[in-house]
Amino acid sequence: MRVHQCLLAPFVVSALLFLAACASAPSSFPDLPEGDWRARSQSQQANGVEVAAAVPSAKESKELFGMALYKKGIQPVWLKITNNRSSSVTFLPVGLDPQYFSPLEVANTNLKEKDANDPTKVVDEFFLQQGIGALALEAGETRSGFIFSKLDEGTKAFNVDIIGVAGDDGIREFDTFTFFIPVPGLNIDHYSVNWRGLYSDDEWVDLEADQLIEIIEKMTCCVTDKKGKGSGDPLNLVVIGFPTDIYTAFIRAGWDETETVTRTSSLKTIASFMSGGEYRYSPVSGLYVFDRPQDVAFQKARENIHERNHLRLWMSRATFEGVPVFMGQISRDIGVRFTSKTITTHKIDPDVDETREYLLENLVYSQALEKFAYVGGVGEVSYDNPSGNLTGDPWFSDGYRIVLWVTSEPVAVDDVTFVDWRRPY
Amino acid sequence: MLNRSWIKLVSTSLILILLAACSTAPYRYEPLENYGIKQRAVTKQQGLIQVRASVPNKEEAEEILGFPIYQRGIQPVWLEITNNSPKRARFVHVSVDREYFSPLEVAYMHKKHFSKQGWMDMEKHLMDTAIPRQIAAGETESGFIYTHASDGTKSFNVDVFYSGSGDATYEEFTFFIAVPGFVPDHATVDWNSLYEKDSVRDLSNDELRDEMLKLPCCTTNREGTGQGQPVNIVLVADGLEVLQTLLRSGWSETTYEKDDNYLNSVNYLFERPPDAVFRKSRGKTTYTTERNELSLWLAPFRNDGVGVWIAQIKHAIGQRYKINEIFFGSAQDPDVDDGRNFLLQNLWYSQTLTAVAYSRSGVKVPMEKPMLDFNDNAFFTDGGRIVLWLSGEPVALQAVRNLWWDMPERVEMVTQ
């Protein structure tokens, strides 16, 4: 749900009042998920096909299947597909997860405990019954059941792909239903942000392009510590979008949400740190802009906790064409090292522009970007004379910030527009 | 909570381990020109862009870079891009590998091999020899991009955006590059000796449909005395096309040594072990198993002049009984139809499929009374087989044709 944009603005009164009225507090992120998993189901309809989807939490999955599936990295997704067309359609589970688990694979995750003398014990009727079964749905048929997918805690994002003849022309079409389903179990940081309360109504300001460029280029180069001191990682991102679009775009591009720091989450982080294993929702330390820590953090785990990308966003009080402007910072963790302050910290790739360009490509190839531009503001820092972040890691840069207009509607790779504000190359 | 002294103990011992691992060696590397990397590069030209690509093998990479990069699961790919357009072009790193490694990341991962100065020298060298993103009008740029290592032939895309005569456009290049030193199993097969030249029949689609009924139900063991798994997949494409479509769909080549241990546990068809075996593993999860293994046998018949392959897919669901054997000691998913349907979708989504037909010509084994193969793997099946016509050129998802030979068996509806 988006808050009204410029449409309601009065035509008269002073310019300042106009600006104040034009911009308004952005909508909040979706509400905290709660209740029974079935009650959290979402449904969508297109071209005579209806798809309902729900995702049981870790606890609910354990109750349903009698096994702690989340601990095995498996997440059941419940689907109910109704074909109201006059011809058959086919559902393709690899669209939901290219490496989905088969029901009997899930049933046999405790294989070692099974009776080794009877190989037929691996056939488990209960799990087979829970699967969605055949992929084809006849005209008028409804089919429901589970697909077992790779675990994504926080918000589960997936596609349900249906292929079949939709119209009278006999031409087969592909319908993709995209779901974003919040799953309880993690304390995701953006649920606790009171977006509306970040700024008072008279603080919002909507800017023209040249005003925005000027303000961004005058913005502080870098993040600070809690006391507003020090000069840390460069603020090399500007993200333009409503919170919901940002969240959808980054999840679509494979980024994970982040847990707020709680006792459980720090224990989870320590365990994964020691083992080098994967804890994809690990809380990130607070870096400060606008006198507060980041409003939202996303991360992208690669092989292990030591190799991941971190991204932090702070909502500014500026809007551009009625859409909120966020300042941001991205870094690529390339390893771990010891520091005097925090015992260990993540070493970042000093080539922060490389990481910035990676993000651009990542969003474009996930069809999550509408437009992009460059502005200055970081200040050029050379490889031979690097700056240091708050934990003493060196970095260098061409001095440019990338401006990213993110979108929740998919945009084709060759439809992304370059807005010619500044040119780093 | 963890107490402080424990943390101190762990961190101190970690520091000691790291100190012990510190090296005083300077950074040394061999020039690229000393190897045949550029000479053996594959060249492709599309629109106003030319791309040359080459992949050094493990030994070459270690000498050219000065450290054993393959050991960390990283494979350098050498590219040379020429931009013949009147404007700047941009090469997209993520088109080669969605999660490529940055040069300074690779440097950091290997710093323990060198002294502080050695590490700095290496960092500089890796930056200088990395392929840049921007290619000026009329210029040529070359260098390495660091990707996740894969076994055998390396398949990847190279996307380049540029402005041609008017609007911005992009070219998508697809490469399949043999890496010297890796001899995949299919390269050791003497294809000409498999069948007498005159004995290979050429079948129309209708004849192929009838031929399905004559195919053996299942594979056997080496001696031909034991029950194997159902034969439920047929691929129609010539050898190179099969190889390229499988690589594009995320499968890797294998190099099984054909010793007695292997031959005694492998499935036989046409009285021989598979002509080629491909493997597809699942990415890292908390619960990891090798996802699938696909065995192929060249059939003694063709379809409208194109090669036909009989295939069998095995989906491992866990380790079982035997120790020291990675794949053959694992339990197979008894639902062999699920593996069959997975391959259909996998090839479909990789845009390598032009047509599909379903044939109810196999043996039906009900779930309630599963059979056992000679390796003691249980299986059940609806008896359906799929025939998949493959294409080297990308095929749109909705353009795949169904020939409607038979209707698939209906599975009882599950209500929730």
Query: How many Å lie between the alpha carbon of B275 and the closest alpha carbon of chain A?
Result: 26
Residue pairs spanning A and B at CB distance below 8 A: 176
Write the burial class of residue A207 (CB in 10 Å: 0-12 exposed, 13-18 middle, 19+ buried).
buried
Contact across the interface for A125 and B286, Cβ inside 8 Å? no
Assigned domain for A51 exists = yes
DSSP string, B71-115: GGTEEEEEEEEEE-SSS-EEEEHHHH-TTPBPHHHHHHHTGGGS-
Range of the domain at A334: 187-418
Query: 3-state class of A383 per DSSP?
Result: coil
Question: With respect to CATH, is domain B23-177 assigned 2.60.40?
Answer: yes
Residues A176 and A279 grouped into a single domain? no
- Alpha-carbon dihedral B73, B295, B297, B357, rounded to 10 degrees: -110
**Which conformational region is residue B210 in: left (phi greater than 0), alpha (psi within -120 to 50 degrees), or beta?**
alpha
- Domain end, chosen from A156, A182, A208, is at A182
Assigned domain for A325 exists = yes
Contact across the interface for A73 and B286, Cβ inside 8 Å? yes
Residues A203 and A349 grouped into a single domain? yes
Task: Give the tokens for residue B43.
Answer: 């060249």
Contact across the interface for B333 and A105, Cβ inside 8 Å? yes
pLDDT digits (tens, 9 = 90+) for A24-79: 445 545 555 667 888 889 999 999 999 999 999 999 999 999 999 998 889 999 99
- Alpha-carbon dihedral B191, B192, B198, B204, rounded to 10 degrees: 30
**Stretch A362-377: mean pLDDT, rounded?**
94
Query: How many Å lie between the alpha carbon of A144 and the closest alpha carbon of chain B?
Result: 6
Q: What confidence score (pLDDT) does residue A113 get?
A: 65
**Stretch A265-276: mean pLDDT, rounded?**
61
B335 touching A, CB under 8 A?
Answer: yes
Contact across the interface for A134 and B410, Cβ inside 8 Å? yes
A134 touching B, CB under 8 A?
Answer: yes
Q: State the ipTM, two decimals.
A: 0.81
Q: Give me the residue from B73, B92, B105 closest to A332, CB to CB.
A: B105
Residue B77: pLDDT over 50: yes
Q: What confidence score (pLDDT) does residue B319 get?
A: 62
Q: What confidence score (pLDDT) does residue A16 get?
A: 34
Residue A10: pLDDT over 50: no
Single out the residue of A92, A306, A349 nearest to residue B349, CA to CA. A92
Residues A126 and A109 grouped into a single domain? yes
Residues A207 and A251 grouped into a single domain? yes
Assigned domain for A410 exists = yes
Residue B240: pLDDT over 80: yes
pLDDT digits (tens, 9 = 90+) for B122-157: 999 999 999 999 999 999 999 999 999 888 899 999
Element (H, E) at B303: strand B292-303
**Stretch B368-393: mean pLDDT, rounded?**
92
Contact across the interface for B398 and A71, Cβ inside 8 Å? no
Write out residues 75-104 of A within 8 Å (CB-CB) of B. Answer: 78, 80, 92-95, 98-99, 102-104
Contact across the interface for B372 and A104, Cβ inside 8 Å? no
Q: Which of A143-157, A292-306, B198-212 has the lowest mean pLDDT?
A: A292-306
- The domain segmentation of chain B, as residue ranges, is 23-177, 185-402
CA B226 to centroid of chain Cα atoms: 31
**Which conformational region is residue A7 in: left (phi greater than 0), alpha (psi within -120 to 50 degrees), or beta?**
alpha
Residues A243 and A359 grouped into a single domain? yes
Residues A219 and A342 grouped into a single domain? yes
Q: Give me the residue from B95, B103, B286 closest to A71, CB to CB.
A: B286
Q: Give me the residue from A116, A171, A383 closest to B321, CB to CB.
A: A116
- Domain end, chosen from A182, A200, A226, is at A182
Q: What confidence score (pLDDT) does residue B22 get?
A: 58
Phi and psi of B3, rounded to 5°?
-85, 160
- Domain end, chosen from A182, A200, A216, is at A182
Residues A249 and A274 grouped into a single domain? yes
Q: What confidence score (pLDDT) does residue B391 get?
A: 92
Q: How far apart are CA B143 and CA B129, in angstroms?
A: 5
B134 touching A, CB under 8 A?
Answer: yes
This prediction has a pTM of 0.81
B9 touching A, CB under 8 A?
Answer: no
Assigned domain for A424 exists = no
Name the domain count of chain A: 2
pLDDT digits (tens, 9 = 90+) for A217-257: 999 999 998 888 888 999 999 999 998 889 888 988 888 88
Looking at residue B123, the DSSP 8-state letter turns out to be H
Write the burial class of residue B34 (CB in 10 Å: 0-12 exposed, 13-18 middle, 19+ buried).
exposed
Single out the residue of A362, A387, A135 nearest to residue A249, CA to CA. A362
Residues A278 and A337 grouped into a single domain? yes
CATH assignment at residue A100? 2.60.40
B249 touching A, CB under 8 A?
Answer: no
Assigned domain for A423 exists = no
Residues A162 and A213 grouped into a single domain? no
Q: Which of A410-424, B27-41, B54-68 has the lowest mean pLDDT?
A: A410-424
Residues A258 and A384 grouped into a single domain? yes
Assigned domain for A202 exists = yes
Q: What confidence score (pLDDT) does residue A306 get?
A: 57
For A69, nearest residue in chain B (alpha carbons): B287
Q: What confidence score (pLDDT) does residue A1 get?
A: 32
